[in-house]
Amino acid sequence: MPSAAPVPRSPSVLLLGSAAGLLTTPGCPACRYTSESSETYLTWFALEGHSDPDVLQVLRKSRGMCARHTRRLLAQPGADARLTAVYKYVVAAAVADLGPQRAGCPACAQEAAAADRVLDILLEEFTSATKTEYKLHGGLCLPHLRRAARRTRHHEVRWLLRFMIARLSAPEPDLDLMAGWPDGDADTRARMRAALPPSYPATAPDTCSVCWSSADFERMHLNAVSSGRSAAAPDLLCGPHLRDAADAFGLLAQQAEGQAIRLARALDGQPRLLGIAPGWLSAAARRALADPDCPVCRGSGQAAADELGRVRAWLRRAARPPATVPLCARHATWLHGIDAQAGRLAAGALGDHAARLATELDTAFRMRTWAHRNDSRGPEMNAWRRAAVFLDGSVLGGCLAD
Ligand SMILES: [Zn+2]
Ligand SMILES: [Zn+2]
Ligand SMILES: [Zn+2]
Ligand SMILES: [Zn+2]
């Protein structure tokens, strides 16, 4: 297998280094390059990055990758051996310090940098020839257009907005245009929603009731939108939730219309300035170009906050420190941020849990060595999956690690 590096060595669209080179095939060029670049980064992580001391240091600070990227790591060939080793370090660091996370997901940072590179190249050379190619191949998706518009004061942003409004007004709404593509995580999300227990499995260890509550709201709300039972026309959905509900009759057309109206508002809100006008984005335009306040994201966030409040009250009432708490490390951190006393009680219980996990990860790590090849294996062999859920229960969408 050829070695992979974070920056693709194989020819990629970006090596052409020009806006024209980015606009040779249909579909959003930022989406295309971001997903190529992300794929390369995760392959590099599997081959080399997971044992790189700098990467491990970042993962200790970020407590692993975000839920979406962790799902990608869990699905990679050889993930069991690799993540058993990685989580030995990450779990220990998470419990030693429940303070705020000190780094973001490194794979998300990589994706954001890749997208920004494409947007910069594209807008730096936005000539009339580029415009023709842009029109021919469809250009940026809506999420990347928003990102471009927020990053730049380029006067052509107005042209890009008008072109997007025209595309959103076409008879057949285009899901990839509105949500970005490809969404390799969509099938996994659907499977997790189907597998989510109907009520919180309070007797099962290794579960987070906050993650479960949030996932339960998300499932209920998406079902309501999909079956058209949602009373009012839904507010504008974020990209992933639009994709999750996209089969609902009439939903795409309704959402495309709503998005077009919002963008038109951004154009209307502009003073009549020509050329590159510093600060041309008015406050109203910035609001119109912000990511939509998705009702499913908002509602599941509120469900999580409500449940965290219940766990907090329960901890406050406890006569003695509880042996277990129904929280993942991410939500224990959240609790610690709003109530240090309840957070300390949670940290105590999670510390015991993490110590057990660490022992299992050590055993599993040893079992994979040649000397132990004939030993019988126990539940510790899936400790790497439980470690991922311990760090962040939303990795498996509130489900138990199997
Ligand atoms: Zn895109
Ligand atoms: Zn990420
Ligand atoms: Zn959680
Ligand atoms: Zn959403």
- pLDDT value, residue 10: 40
- pLDDT value, residue 312: 97
pLDDT category at 257 given cuts 50, 70, 90 is very high
Q: Residue 27 C-alpha to ligand 1 middle, in angstroms?
A: 8
- pLDDT value, residue 9: 41
- pLDDT value, residue 274: 47
Complete DSSP assignment for 143-188: HHHHHHHHH---TTHHHHHHHHHHHHTSSS--HHHHH-S--TTHHH
Average pLDDT over residues 113-125: 90
- Residue with more model confidence, 62 or 99: 62
Complete DSSP assignment for 211-246: HHHHHHHHHHHHHHHHTT--SSPP-PPPHHHHHHHT
Nearest ligand to the CA of 291 is 4
Structure tokens at 348: 């105590």
Structure tokens at 296: 């499913």
Nearest ligand to the CA of 45 is 2
Q: Residue 132 C-alpha to ligand 4 middle, in angstroms?
A: 33
Using one digit for the tens of pLDDT, what is the confidence trace for 161-172? 999 999 999 998
- pLDDT value, residue 11: 38
Using one digit for the tens of pLDDT, what is the confidence trace for 378-390? 788 889 999 999 9
Q: Residue 72 C-alpha to ligand 2 middle, in angstroms?
A: 10
- pLDDT value, residue 3: 47
pLDDT category at 276 given cuts 50, 70, 90 is very low
Report the half-sphere exposure of 151 (CA within 13 A, side-chain side). Answer: 18
- pLDDT value, residue 4: 44
Residue 129: pLDDT above 90?
Answer: no
The b-or-e profile of 146-183 (16+ CB within 10 A means b, else e) is bbbbeebebebbbebbebbbebbeeeebbbbbbbbbeb
pLDDT over 70 for what percent of the chain?
A: 91
> Is there a contact between 335 and 307 (Cβ–Cβ < 8 Å)?
no
pLDDT over 90 for what percent of the chain?
A: 60
Residue 318: pLDDT above 70?
Answer: yes
- pLDDT value, residue 228: 73
Using one digit for the tens of pLDDT, what is the confidence trace for 67-110? 999 999 999 999 999 999 999 889 988 878 778 888 999 999 99
Q: Residue 116 C-alpha to ligand 1 middle, in angstroms?
A: 11
Structure tokens at 311: 């766990």
- pLDDT value, residue 8: 42
Q: Is the dihedral of CA 227, 233, 234, 240 positive or negative?
A: positive
Residue 175: pLDDT above 60?
Answer: yes
> Which residues neighbour 42 within 8 Å (Cβ) at sequence distance 6 or greater?
69, 72, 73, 76, 107
- pLDDT value, residue 267: 82
> Which residues neighbour 387 within 8 Å (Cβ) at sequence distance 6 or greater?
83, 87, 90, 91, 357, 361
| Lowest-confidence segment of 113-127, 228-242, 255-269 by average pLDDT | 228-242
* Mean of per-residue pLDDT scores for the chain: 87
- Spell out which residues have Cβ within 5 A of ligand 1, the ion: 28, 30-31, 141, 144, 180
- pLDDT value, residue 217: 96
Using one digit for the tens of pLDDT, what is the confidence trace for 332-366? 999 999 999 999 999 999 988 899 999 999 898 88
- pLDDT value, residue 281: 65
Nearest ligand to the CA of 118 is 1
- Residue with more model confidence, 151 or 211: 211
Using one digit for the tens of pLDDT, what is the confidence trace for 184-213? 999 999 999 999 999 998 777 678 999 999
Nearest ligand to the CA of 207 is 3
Nearest ligand to the CA of 239 is 4
Residue 5: pLDDT above 50?
Answer: no
Q: Residue 148 C-alpha to ligand 3 middle, in angstroms?
A: 33
Q: How far apart are CA 148 and CA 286, in angstroms?
A: 12
* Cα separation of the two ends of the chain: 31
| Lowest-confidence segment of 8-17, 52-61, 275-284, 346-355 by average pLDDT | 8-17
Q: Residue 214 C-alpha to ligand 4 middle, in angstroms?
A: 12
Q: How far apart are CA 210 and CA 281, in angstroms?
A: 38
- pLDDT value, residue 149: 86
AA identity, residue 368: R
- pLDDT value, residue 271: 53
Using one digit for the tens of pLDDT, what is the confidence trace for 285-311? 777 788 889 999 999 999 999 999 999
Average pLDDT over residues 57-61: 95
| pTM: predicted TM-score of the whole model, two decimal places | 0.91
